[in-house]
Amino acid sequence: MRQLEIIFQQPVTMANILDKIFAHKKEELDSTRRKASLAEIKGRIGQREAVRDIRQALAPASSSRIIAEIKRRTPFKGELRPDFDGLAIARAYAENGAAAMSILTESNYFGGSIELLSQVRDEVKIPLLRKDFIFDPYQVYESRAFGGDLFLLIATWLDKNHLEDLLELGKEIGMTALVETHCERDMEKAFSVGAFLIGINNRDLKTGKTDLDISRRLLKMAKMVPDNLLVCESGIHSAIEIAEMETLGAHAFLIGESLMKADNIPEKLAELTGDKNRGSV
């Protein structure tokens, strides 16, 4: 793989929240590198167990396949759960039918930490997505070193070559990238780099607006390439919406806010998966 140059796709004008987050991530990464060298991070990877198979986890089943997300807050909605306990939430997800789990590790805007990813790894047996604003090879190695099985790449923000290099680096160390799209141009990028796990984010990360018509439109386009796994992200609150998106071609659903704000997480997860035998407190 050729040496990556870290070049931001857009100048940081602070015109939208996505630019702000990536700007802060760049500053944060400089500090992180000083605390742990890349050689040290790579050394930790050898101590990790084998990567868990996301294809197997999201294979068709009698219940809907939910990637349940742990996130403390968002820049759009603020604190989502006053009594936040990341490990307790992870156990509830794993015990009540989540097919995989997303751990939001960004700290400044979402209140996450990569340490939680490592802690959850020791508690559950399902695949873990490191969800963050990833633009540098260090972050890919870091995702594996702290227990991730897959990691997020945001096609809206990364240019094609940058996206492809990070995706290929993930493959080299056994990880899958969830390539997140929001428009037709993003979907074309995902196709061109050979992504097989493609997310469709109904939330515009520049404004926070959520619109399920994004998935209604892009799922049709995504089905043009066979054998992809399509993940519908954001704005899903009910089994009715899940059933509609499955009819349109979605294979799985990344759901955070609906679960994080639920009075009873097991019951809400059972409702979303459609598994009537689960959901007891």
- Residue 279 CB partners (closer than 8 Å, separation 6+): 96, 264, 266, 267, 269, 270, 271
pLDDT at 206: 77
Whether residue 208 is predicted with pLDDT greater than 90 in this model: the reply is no
Mean pLDDT of the chain: 91
Comparing C-alpha atoms, which of 254, 277, 257 is closest to residue 267? 277
Region 233-260: what's the mean pLDDT? 96
The position carrying tokens 């986890």 is 57
Q: List, for residues 80-124, the tens digit of each pLDDT value.
A: 998 999 999 999 999 999 999 999 999 999 999 999 999 999 999
Is 208 inside a domain boundary?
Answer: yes
Is 74 inside a domain boundary?
Answer: yes
The answer to pTM > 0.75 is: yes
d(CA 112, CA 193): 29
Neighbours of 250 (CB within 10 A): 23
Region 58-63: what's the mean pLDDT? 91
Range with top average pLDDT, 53-62, 138-147, 271-280:
138-147
Is 11 inside a domain boundary?
Answer: no
Q: How confident is the model at residue 226 (pLDDT cuts 50, 70, 90)?
A: confident
Q: How confident is the model at residue 279 (pLDDT cuts 50, 70, 90)?
A: low
Region 195-221: what's the mean pLDDT? 93
Q: Average the pLDDT over each of 15-19, 37-41, 151-155, 204-208 and give the range with the smallest value.
A: 15-19
Is 91 inside a domain boundary?
Answer: yes
DSSP 3-state helix, strand, coil percentages of the chain (rounded to 5)?
Answer: 40, 15, 45
Q: Average the pLDDT over each of 125-139, 153-167, 263-277 and give the range with the smallest value.
A: 263-277
Comparing C-alpha atoms, which of 192, 172, 173 is closest to residue 181? 192
Is 278 inside a domain boundary?
Answer: no
Range of the domain at 63: 17-44+53-273
Q: Which helix (H) or strand (E) holds 232?
A: strand 229-233
What's the number of domains the chain is made of?
Answer: 1
d(CA 235, CA 135): 25
Whether residue 227 is predicted with pLDDT greater than 80 in this model: the reply is yes
Q: What is the CATH number of the domain that holds 73?
A: 3.20.20.70
Is 115 inside a domain boundary?
Answer: yes
Q: How confident is the model at residue 14 (pLDDT cuts 50, 70, 90)?
A: very low
Whether residue 67 is predicted with pLDDT greater than 80 in this model: the reply is yes
Region 52-73: what's the mean pLDDT? 95
pLDDT at 225: 87
What is the DSSP annotation of 60-118? Answer: --SS--EEEEE-SEETTTEES-TT--HHHHHHHHHHTT-SEEEEE---TTT---HHHHH
The answer to whether residues 184 and 194 touch, using CB atoms and an 8 Å cutoff, is: no
Beta strands 73-74 and 78-79 are: antiparallel
Is 38 inside a domain boundary?
Answer: yes
Whether residue 8 is predicted with pLDDT greater than 80 in this model: the reply is no
Is 10 inside a domain boundary?
Answer: no
Q: How confident is the model at residue 277 (pLDDT cuts 50, 70, 90)?
A: low
